[in-house]
Amino acid sequence: MMKYDSIHGRYDGTVEVDGDSLVIDGHKVALSHTRDPAEIPFAKYGADYVCESTGVFLTTEKIQAHLKAGAKKVVFSAPAKDDSHTIVMGVNQETYKPEMQAVSCASCTTNGLAPMVKAINDAFGVKRGLMTTIHAMTASQPTVDGASKKDWRGGRAASGNIIPSSTGAAKACALVIPAIKGKLTGMAFRVPTIDVSVVDLTCELEKPTTYEEICAEIKRRANGDMKGYLGYCDESLVSTDFETCSISSTFDAKAGIMLDSTFVKLVAWYDNEWGYSCRVVDLIKYMAKEDAKAK
């Protein structure tokens, strides 16, 4: 799976196995096989920053095993299940403090939503809003109908259904943009595509404006301080055009609509695999840089 990917294609470099190591382009990556993170010799491997992607250890208390094994910091590639700090790159990375042991990179959908919300809220103010993510299917969904522990609809076949579901992405925005606390909520539709999702944000603004002014402001931020995190697109594209796009949230200027001067629907695309993975890496790099400054 390191060499071949159904969406992102074939890796052009070399991928080999050497004993208990994976060798990628000559760079040796140590492998371990255990359910207990305390048994992974992070100190021996020199792994100061650990990405917790099992979905099991999502609290500061639970990552103490990682720290005892030699890790210095842990980044959750999912929403935290406690009050561990949440960061969305391009939105609130400046709130990171070197004394933090665990940091959440939020979810792919929060990363797809928050940059657009920040740009809009900064310029026009968000009074209230409803968000829908039309989300590509994920590994947690079954290929055929079956029982689901979470909800009945979640057990239906992923490839043959549009499945209404829940998402905490809208509410999670308040963790990185405190000014919108209590102003956003949302839901999800899981659809039969295997990558790339899209956020639909319908909101009421505090300040009257025009759709042209909204587009201009998002374009300005996308080419300025939020470059790489917020994108701007004025072409008539579809989901596959955003495969392997590293930008967290690409605003679709041609897809939005406006009813009046304060009521608008905004649309943004995101590669929920590649784009989010890039943000996890960016967050770890940012933390390492800030930690080095604090020494």
Buried b (16+ CB within 10 A) or exposed e, 181-190: eebbebebbb
The span from the CA of 74 to the CA of 52, in Å, is: 7
Query: Is 190 labelled a binding residue?
Result: yes
Q: Note whether 115 and 251 are within 8 A (CB).
A: no
Active site residue 173: no
Query: Is 107 labelled a binding residue?
Result: yes
The span from the CA of 251 to the CA of 230, in Å, is: 7
The span from the CA of 209 to the CA of 45, in Å, is: 54
Query: Is 185 labelled a binding residue?
Result: no
Query: Is 35 labelled a binding residue?
Result: yes
* Cα angle: 63, vertex 68, 70; to 5 degrees: 100
The span from the CA of 166 to the CA of 147, in Å, is: 17
* Token digits of residue 146: 């079956």
Query: Is 167 labelled a binding residue?
Result: yes
* Token digits of residue 29: 């990556």
Return the closest-CA partner of residue 230 out of 194, 257, 199.
199
The span from the CA of 172 to the CA of 262, in Å, is: 24
In the chain, the amino acid numbered 227 is K
Residue 190's beta-bridge partner residues? 135, 163
Query: Is 148 labelled a binding residue?
Result: no
What's the full length of the chain, in residues?
A: 295
Buried b (16+ CB within 10 A) or exposed e, 215-252: bebbbebbeeebeebbbbbeeeeebeebbebbbbbbbb
Helix (H) / strand (E) element for 110: namely helix 108-124
Query: Is 77 labelled a binding residue?
Result: yes
Query: Is 132 labelled a binding residue?
Result: no
- Selecting among 105, 108, 233, 278, the annotated active-site residue is 108
The helix/strand/coil state of 24 is strand
Query: Is 233 labelled a binding residue?
Result: no
- Residues annotated as part of the active site: 108
Annotation: binding site? 35, 77, 107-109, 138, 167-168, 190, 272
Annotation: binding site for D-glyceraldehyde 3-phosphate? 107-109, 138, 167-168, 190
Annotation: binding site for NAD(+)? 35, 77, 272
